[in-house]
């Protein structure tokens, strides 16, 4: 039996540690310059080189020609401490998970005071340090703070926050990170070359994806693939089969069925997944990843190719189409459900049943908030797919001349005529129930109102929103009752109705209600651009007098 | 005849394991076919522990897993000197157990080439126990092999997962399970029915195929949803379900209990009514253990019954969405079709969610009758 890859390719110098330059460089510099601390804490996710770095640190410190960042590899200590070597009597690697009791710590503390046998330092590597019991950790405090000059501690842990703060504050903390895909891929290619096994294109990215950035995970998976390699090396097919990745075609089928809301096809796909021996869990995971990719494609449009490099051009086009058909809200909701279902698949439940349940939940948006969003999105998509309405032209023409005389306040003629000319020839798409589309036109409507009458505009611009629309009326929400009253009294609804007719081509009665939830801050910047010379611009007192019938009682200056 | 014949419908896995066995017997081998730590995952009933045990047997067998020799037979039954079998009837595997195990695991094998540790429920390791295993699993002594089993990879610590080679067993297809049952002398129709109804759980399929009363109980349970029309019938259905689960648990427990009790008393040298000092205490402890086991059995039966009911509604849902070709319960297709016609898929989905919620509540130690009643009322 040969050694597992992750043991065989354990680094023996800092130069061989990959993807941790932010840690290995300062450590190398410290070794070269001789500024060595007495306690280190290495933390980071599984398989990114904590324990290996601790061993390298020990090797570098105890090298006869050291301390050096480049251990000579020839002296007794270097040969003892090389990866998979016999180990040195002066470097003690303790597993805190099995030696995490207070007695173990006391024992360590007592022995620490003896001088090293043959090397420069006596080094304690305390691995899985998060498993140190509170008693043990506290017993170590004093010796970790002020150890004898020949003693050095290196703590390694995946969960540094579980280690008590008093230990952490006595150490230099070096957080390790997961390895970036490009660096990891390069390393894996090197390993394959050394192992002398040909690996097909596309296999290494698969391994990188399966590992999630952990070198040990990657080498475990790679070992599995190399074990399954035939004479022609590791082919892409063998790799996907061994790793259990779902066939891209099956995923496409599932997503297309989802987009078409075709339950029968979706459940048939599930059936095929199970029958063909795929792991339902794996499928759910891949399905979730596909949804994530679709969300990215939907959100980033043409930039998607940069983010999702693993997809070829034609596949990306397919993704874009799928993302468009499904819509962002549906995608996010589906992804949520899939992620939720994955956690349910833990433990001992028939995974197929859970997978089918996930599909059913996605297919049938219930009454939760997200479900409603998804349903609205479906409606919207349905409307936009139907194309522009034939009645648009008729409706759009009518209003322009129908109600111009109802205005009570004199409006400069030039201002009044301009919008009519500008807007009339552009028929806008008409959706009788599509409130979202109507809201998109709201800023234009407001602009139109501004040209007709300043007062109406000032009432609407900052504090109103379209609330609802049906085939009889458009409902506007205004943030407070004072503004609403003056809106109604000044017959601004007629102006607004006209504006809607001109801009959107929708001549409906305008109803106005009070809605304090309207966001009042959206259009404030526009107020800044007001032209102070405008004839209709009214000052505070004048406006009050005009709109609310107020009169000035007393004027006073405000001395600060 | 090979030990791997015991694995049903796992061709890919067996191929990997057989290559590993070959590599393990060649000391000059430089390939990656064999490694020192394996993690077997797969859905319940797919034969995780069987696969691990078969692999263990083939590693200690001098012929590479013949299935006939003493090594194979003792390894499979868990009594081989160099096969350490860790099983648990309790809820978790504690750290003290693991500390001891780590010491034993480091010993040189006594008769075979390898010392193999088979841990059947690695998902039941407590967190500290799993952490204690890390170093031993990463760099064991050169002749120790670790075989861990868990339902899914997320059931073990990521740090354990990254140190092992993962093998995922597939859910055995209904056809394969049916063939297996037919090979054991069960009629074709019955075998097909049991294979479909058990959803690839081999043990459950065998149980259904062999035991008429098990089939009757299943039928009774599956008909419960159709009996619920109002609150009164819902309560009646809940009472019947809990009653059935309790009855079954009692029956099974009694079979085990009496034997265990008799064996213990014999061990303490009971003749007539007199017991040696300390015996009474041991008997009392055993009785206490048996009682807590019975509680768990009731819960397990209820859980299985709820899953059965969920499959019923799943079938209804499938018919409603228009793909009624692969029913889990084909024997009830007319009832299922009738129910599919009378409700909407949204309602059916809501019912399945209620059942899943109830299962979660049962796991959290809620009073069985109460949660089942609440569920039945919602299933109206």
Instruction: For residue A345, give the chain B residue with the closest CA.
Output: B152
Q: Distance from A102 to chain B by nearest Cα, in Å?
A: 16
Cβ neighbours of residue B128 closer than 8 Å, sequence gap 6 or more: A97, A131, B95
Question: Cβ separation of A264 and B322 shorter than 8 Å?
Answer: yes
Q: What is the pLDDT of residue A524?
A: 40
Q: Looking at the predicted structure, is the pLDDT value of residue A302 above 90?
A: no
Question: For chain A, what percent of residues have pLDDT higher than 70?
Answer: 81
Statement: residue A509 has pLDDT above 90: no
CATH of A248-382, one of 1.10.3080.10, 1.20.272.10, 3.40.50.2030, 3.40.50.2000: 1.20.272.10
What's the confidence (pLDDT) of residue A394? 41
Contact flag A220-B162 (C-beta cutoff 8 Å): yes
Predicted local distance difference test score (pLDDT) of residue B116: 92
Contact A97 B128 (CB under 8 A): yes
**Residue in B31, B159, B356 closest to A158 by CB:** B159
pLDDT tens per residue across span A246-281: 777 788 888 888 888 788 888 888 888 887 777 888
Long-range contacts of B223-229 (CB under 8 A, 24+ apart): B223/B332, B223/B335, B224/B309, B224/B376, B225/B309, B225/B312, B225/B313, B225/B339, B225/B379, B226/B335, B226/B339, B228/B376, B228/B379, B228/B380, B229/B380
Question: Quick one: CA torsion of A246, A252, A256, A259, rounded to 10 degrees?
Answer: 70
- pLDDT for the residue numbered A349: 67
Minimal Cβ distance to B165: which of A214, A220, A349? A220
For A392-548, which CATH class? alpha beta
Which residue(s) pair with A174 in the sheet? A42
Surface-to-core class of residue B282, CB atoms within 10 Å of its CB (0-12 exposed, 13-18 middle, 19+ buried): middle
Say how many C-beta atoms besides its own lie within 10 A of residue B308's C-beta.
19
The reply to whether residue B311 touches residue A353, judged by beta carbons under 8 angstroms, is yes
More confident residue, B45 or B326: B45
Of A46, A97, A363, the CB nearest to B321: A363
How confident is the model at residue A392, as a pLDDT?
40
Q: Best mutation site among A222, A238, A350 for testing chain B: the one with the most B CBs within 10 Å?
A: A350
Domain definitions of chain A by residue range = 5-175, 181-243, 248-382, 392-548
pLDDT (mean) for B141-160: 88
Contact A4 B123 (CB under 8 A): no
Burial degree of B281 (CB within 10 A; 0-12, 13-18, 19+): exposed
The residue of A8, A87, A97 whose CB has the most chain B CBs within 10 angstroms, and thus the best one to mutate to test that interface, is A97
How far is it, in rounded angstroms, from Cα A158 to Cα A349?
Answer: 30
Q: What pLDDT, on a 0 to 100 scale, did the predictor assign at position A381?
A: 65
Using CB atoms, pick whichever of A95, A267, A351 lies closest to residue B318.
Answer: A267
Higher pLDDT, B262 or A304: B262
Beta-carbon contacts of A359 under 8 Å, excluding residues fewer than 6 positions away, are: A263, A266, A267, A270
Q: What percent of chain B has pLDDT over 70?
A: 96
- In DSSP terms, which residues pair with B83 in a beta bridge? B116
Do B23 and A265 count as a contact with CB atoms less than 8 A apart? no
Has residue B5 got a pLDDT over 90? no
pLDDT mean over A554-558: 75
The answer, yes or no, to whether residue A560 has pLDDT greater than 60, is no
In the predicted model, what is the mean pLDDT of residues A31-41? Answer: 89
Q: What is the pLDDT of residue A546?
A: 72
Would you call B32 and A244 a contact, using CB atoms and an 8 Å cutoff? no
Question: Is the pLDDT confidence value at A424 over 60?
Answer: no
Give the model's confidence band at A306: pLDDT under 50 very low, under 70 low, under 90 confident, else very high.
confident
Give the gap in angstroms from C-alpha B103 to the nearest C-alpha of chain A: 11
Give the pLDDT of residue A40: 93
Give the nearest chain A residue to B322 (CA atoms). Answer: A264
pLDDT of residue A371: 64
Contact assessment for residue A184 and residue A215, using Cβ atoms and an 8 Å cutoff: yes
Q: Which residues of B touch A223 (CB under 8 A)?
A: 32, 35, 165
A515 vs B158 pLDDT, higher one: B158
The size of the A-B interface in CB pairs under 8 A is: 164
Give the residue ranges of DSSP H helices in chain B.
Answer: 11-24, 48-60, 70-77, 95-105, 127-138, 158-161, 174-183, 188-198, 202-210, 212-227, 231-267, 279-320, 333-342, 345-363, 368-378
* Mutation for B interface: A360, A362, A363, A367, most B CBs within 10 A: A360
Is the pLDDT at A531 greater than 70? The verdict is no
8 A C-beta contact, residue A349 and residue A284: no
Residue B40 has what pLDDT?
92
- Whether residue A263 and residue B33 make contact (CB cut-off 8 A), yes or no, is no
- pLDDT for residue A140 is more than 80: yes
Residue B222: which pLDDT band, with cuts at 50, 70 and 90? confident
Q: Where are the alpha helices (DSSP H) in A276-390?
A: 280-300, 304-307, 313-326, 328-344, 351-363, 369-386
| Distance between B308 CA and the closest CA of chain A, angstroms | 11
Separation in Å, CA B188 to CA B75, B175, B304, B359: 33, 11, 25, 33
Closest CA to A221 of A196, B118, A213: A213
Contacts of B35 in chain A (CB under 8 A): 1, 4, 223, 227
pLDDT of the residue at A347: 62
CA–CA gap between residue A201 and residue B120 (Å, rounded): 38
pLDDT reading at A110 higher than 50 = yes
Residues A211, A228: Cα–Cα separation, whole Å? 18
**Residue B39 confidence class, pLDDT cut points 50, 70, 90:** very high
pLDDT of residue A155: 92
Give me the CATH topology for the region A5-175. Rossmann fold (3.40.50)
| Closest to A176 in 3D by CA, of A19, A54, A43 | A43
Which of B251, B227, B252 shows the shortest CA–CA distance to B239?
B227
Chain A residues inside the 8 Å CB shell of B318: 267, 356
Does domain A181-243 bear CATH number 3.40.630.20?
Answer: no
Picking from A216, A227, A353, the nearest residue to B31 by CB comes out as A227
Per-residue model confidence (pLDDT) at position B147 = 93
Which of A135-144, A502-511, A536-545 has the lowest average pLDDT? Answer: A536-545
Evaluate if residue B370 carries a pLDDT over 80. Answer: yes
For range A376-395, the mean pLDDT: 52
Helices and strands counted in chain A (H then E): 28, 8
What strands lie across the sheet with A151-157, from one edge to the other?
Answer: A91-95, A122-127, A151-157, A39-43, A172-175
The pLDDT, as a whole number, for residue A174 is 92
CB contact under 8 A, A220 and B36: no
Confidence of residue A526 (pLDDT cuts 50, 70, 90): very low
Gap between the Cα atoms of B332 and A132, Å rounded: 57
Could you tell me which chain B residue has the CA closest to the CA of A1?
B24
**A6 neighbors A215 (Cβ within 8 angstroms):** yes
Q: Which residue has the tokens 């061709």?
A: B11
| Chain B residues inside the 8 Å CB shell of A85 | none
CB contact under 8 A, A227 and B151: no
Q: For residues A493 and A445, give the distance between their C-alpha atoms in angstroms, rounded to a whole number.
A: 12
CA nearest to A112, candidates A133, A130, A101, A126:
A126
Does the beta-carbon distance from B23 to A1 stay under 8 Å? Answer: yes
- Cβ–Cβ below 8 Å for A351 and B43: yes
Q: What is the mean pLDDT of residues B265-286?
A: 74
| Predicted pLDDT at A41 | 92
Q: Which of A228, A245, A256, A325 is nearest to A281 (CA)?
A: A245
**Rounded-to-integer distance, Cα B70 and Cα A326, Å:** 61
Helix B231-267 / helix B212-227 crossing angle, nearest 10 deg: 150
The pairing of strands A91-95 and A509-514 is unpaired
Mean pLDDT for all residues in chain B:
84
What is the interface pTM, i.e. ipTM, of the complex?
0.79
- Beta-carbon contacts of A200 under 8 Å, excluding residues fewer than 6 positions away, are A233, A234, A235, A236, A239
Which is more confident, B271 or A232?
A232
Measured in angstroms, the CA of B15 and the nearest CA of chain A are apart by 9
pLDDT at B16: 86
- What is the phi-psi region of residue A476: left when phi exceeds 0, alpha when psi lies from -120 to 50, beta otherwise? beta
B135/A349 touch (CB, cutoff 8 Å), yes or no:
no
Residue B41 contacts residue A347 (beta carbons within 8 Å): no
B34: nearest CA in chain A?
Answer: A1
| CB contact (8 A) between residue A4 and residue B323 | no
Residue A559 pLDDT level (bands cut at 50, 70, 90): low
Is pLDDT of A453 > 70? yes
pLDDT at B275: 64
Q: From chain A, pick out residues whose CB is under 8 angstroms from the CB of B144.
A: none
Cβ–Cβ gap B32/A224 under 8 Å: yes
Which chain B positions have a beta carbon within 8 Å of A351's beta carbon? 43, 171
Question: What span, in angstroms and rounded, lies between the C-alpha atoms of A494 and A456?
Answer: 10
Predicted pLDDT at A533: 46
| pLDDT, mean of residues A87-113 | 85
Instruction: Give the burial class of A133: count Cβ atoms within 10 A of its Cβ; 0-12 exposed, 13-18 middle, 19 or more buried.
Output: middle
| Integer CA distances (angstroms), A410 to A422, A487, A538, A539, A542, in order | 21, 17, 14, 18, 17
Query: Within 13 Å and on the Cβ side, how many CA atoms surround A219?
Result: 23
Q: How far apart are CA B291 and CA B293, in angstroms?
A: 5
State residue A244's pLDDT score. 75
What is the band of B274 on the pLDDT scale with cuts at 50, 70, 90?
low
State the average pLDDT over residues B131-153: 88
pLDDT beyond 80 at B145: yes
Closest residue in A to B96 (Cα) is A98
Average pLDDT over residues A232-257: 81
Say how far apart CA B358 and CA A256 lie, in whole Å: 33
Q: How confident is the model at residue B38 (pLDDT cuts 50, 70, 90)?
A: very high
pLDDT exceeds cutoff 90 at A154 = yes
Q: Are residues B349 and A360, on separate chains, in Cβ contact within 8 Å? A: yes
CA distance B136 to A535: 87
Q: What is the mean pLDDT of residues B10-22?
A: 86
- Residue B196: alpha-carbon gap to chain centroid: 18
Quote the pLDDT of residue B118. Answer: 92
Q: Nearest Cα to B380, choosing from B219, B237, B240?
A: B237
Nearest to A454 by CA among A396, A539, A548, A520: A539
A141 CA: distance to closest CA in chain B (Å) = 22
**Rounded to whole angstroms, how far apart are CA atoms B285 and A284?**
45
Does the pLDDT of residue B238 top 60, yes or no?
yes
Closest-CA residue in chain B for A220?
A: B165
Nearest CB among A216, A346, A363 relative to B152 is that of: A346
* A360–B155 CB contact, under 8 Å: no
Chain A residues with CB-CB distance to B113 below 8 A: none
Q: Does position B342 have pLDDT exceeding 60, yes or no?
A: yes
Paired sense of beta strands B144-150 and B115-119, if any: parallel
Distance of alpha carbon B209 from alpha carbon A170, whole angstroms: 65
Which pLDDT value is given to residue A421?
A: 42
């Amino acid at each position: 039996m040969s050694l597992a890859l992750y043991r065989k390719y354990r680094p023996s110098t800092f130069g061989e540690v990959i993807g941790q330059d932010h840690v290995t460089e300062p450590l190398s510099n410290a070794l070269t310059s001789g500024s060595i601390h007495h306690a280190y804490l290495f933390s980071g996710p599984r398989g990114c080189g904590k324990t290996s770095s601790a061993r390298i640190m020990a090797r570098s410190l105890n090298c006869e020609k050291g301390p050096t960042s480049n251990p000579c590899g020839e002296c007794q200590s270097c040969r003892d401490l090389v990866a998979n070597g016999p180990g040195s009597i002066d470097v003690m690697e303790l597993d805190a998970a099995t030696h995490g009791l207070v007695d173990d710590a006391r024992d360590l503390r007592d022995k620490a005071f003896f001088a090293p046998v043959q090397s420069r330092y006596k080094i304690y590597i305390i691995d899985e340090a998060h498993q140190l019991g509170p008693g043990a950790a506290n017993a170590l405090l004093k010796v970790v703070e002020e150890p004898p000059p020949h003693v050095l501690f290196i703590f390694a842990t995946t969960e540094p926050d579980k280690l008590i703060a008093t230990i952490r504050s006595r150490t230099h903390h070096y957080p390790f990170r997961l390895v970036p895909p490009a660096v990891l891929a390069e390393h894996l290619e090197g390993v394959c070359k050394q192992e002398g096994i040909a690996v097909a294109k596309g296999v290494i990215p698969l391994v990188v994806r399966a590992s999630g950035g952990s070198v040990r995970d990657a080498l475990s998976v790679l070992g599995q693939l190399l074990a399954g390699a035939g004479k022609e090396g590791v082919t892409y097919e063998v790799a996907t089969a061994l790793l259990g990745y779902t066939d891209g075609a099956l995923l496409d089928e599932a997503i297309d069925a989802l987009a078409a809301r075709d339950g029968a096809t979706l459940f048939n796909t599930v059936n095929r997944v199970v029958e063909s021996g795929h792991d339902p869990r794996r499928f759910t995971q891949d399905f979730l990843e596909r949804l994530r990719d679709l969300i990215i494609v939907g959100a980033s449009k043409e930039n998607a190719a940069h983010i999702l490099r693993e997809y070829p051009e034609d596949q990306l086009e397919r993704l874009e189409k799928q993302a468009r058909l499904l819509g962002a809200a549906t995608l996010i909701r589906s992804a949520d459900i899939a992620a939720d279902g994955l956690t349910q698949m833990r433990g001992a439940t028939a995974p197929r049943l859970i997978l089918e349940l996930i599909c059913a939940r996605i297919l049938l948006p219930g009454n939760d908030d997200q479900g409603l969003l998804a349903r609205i999105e479906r409606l919207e998509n349905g409307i936009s797919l139907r194309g522009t309405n034939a009645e648009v032209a008729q409706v759009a023409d009518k209003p322009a001349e129908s109600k111009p005389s109802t205005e009570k306040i004199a409006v400069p003629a030039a201002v009044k005529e301009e919008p009519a000319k500008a807007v009339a020839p552009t028929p806008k798409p008409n959706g009788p129930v599509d409130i979202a589309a109507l809201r998109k036109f709201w800023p234009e409507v407001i602009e139109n109102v501004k040209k007709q009458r300043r007062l109406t505009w000032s009432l609407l611009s900052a504090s109103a929103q379209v609330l609802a629309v049906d085939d009889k009326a458009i409902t506007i929400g205004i943030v407070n009752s004072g503004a609403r009253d003056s809106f109604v009294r000044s017959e601004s609804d007629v102006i607004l109705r006209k504006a809607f007719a001109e801009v959107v081509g929708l001549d409906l009665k305008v109803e106005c209600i009070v809605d304090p939830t309207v966001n009042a801050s959206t259009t404030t910047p526009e107020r800044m651009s007001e032209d102070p010379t405008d004839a209709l611009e009214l000052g505070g007192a004048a406006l009050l007098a005009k709109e609310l019938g107020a009169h000035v009682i007393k004027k006073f200056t405000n001395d600060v | 005849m090979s030990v791997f014949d015991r694995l049903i419908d796992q061709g890919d896995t067996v191929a990997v394991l057989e290559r590993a066995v070959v590599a393990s017997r060649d000391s000059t081998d430089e390939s990656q076919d064999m490694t020192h730590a394996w993690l077997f995952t797969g859905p319940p009933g797919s034969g995780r522990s069987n696969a691990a045990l078969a692999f263990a047997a083939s590693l200690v067998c001098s012929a590479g897993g013949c299935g006939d020799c003493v090594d194979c037979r003792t390894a499979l039954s868990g009594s081989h000197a160099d096969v350490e079998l860790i099983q648990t009837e309790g809820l978790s595997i504690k750290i003290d157990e693991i500390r001891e195990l780590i010491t034993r695991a480091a010993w040189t094998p006594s008769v075979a080439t390898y010392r193999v540790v088979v841990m059947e429920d690695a998902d039941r390791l407590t967190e500290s126990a799993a952490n204690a295993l890390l170093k031993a699993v990463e760099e064991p002594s050169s002749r120790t092999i670790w075989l861990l089993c868990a339902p899914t990879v997320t059931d073990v610590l990521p740090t354990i997962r990254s140190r092992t080679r993962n093998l995922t067993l597939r859910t055995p297809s209904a056809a394969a399970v049916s063939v297996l049952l037919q090979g054991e002398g069960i009629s074709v129709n019955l075998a097909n029915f049991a294979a479909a109804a058990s959803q690839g759980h081999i043990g459950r399929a065998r149980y259904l195929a062999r035991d008429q009363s098990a089939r009757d109980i299943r039928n009774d349970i599956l008909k419960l949803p159709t009996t619920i029309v109002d609150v009164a019938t819902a309560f009646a259905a809940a009472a019947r379900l809990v009653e059935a689960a309790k009855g079954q648990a009692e029956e099974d427990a009694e079979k085990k209990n009496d034997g265990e009790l008799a064996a213990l008393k014999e061990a303490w040298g009971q003749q007539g009514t007199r017991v040696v000092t300390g015996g009474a205490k041991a008997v009392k402890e055993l009785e206490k253990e048996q009682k807590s086991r019975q509680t768990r059995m009731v819960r397990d039966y209820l859980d299985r019954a709820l899953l059965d009911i969920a499959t019923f509604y799943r079938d209804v849902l499938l018919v409603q969405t228009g793909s009624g070709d692969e029913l889990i319960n084909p024997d009830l297709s007319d009832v299922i079709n009738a129910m599919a016609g009378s409700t909407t898929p949204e309602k059916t989905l809501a019912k399945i969610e209620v059942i899943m919620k109830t299962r979660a509540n049962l796991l959290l130690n809620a009073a069985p009758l109460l949660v089942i009643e609440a569920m039945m009322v919602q299933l109206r």
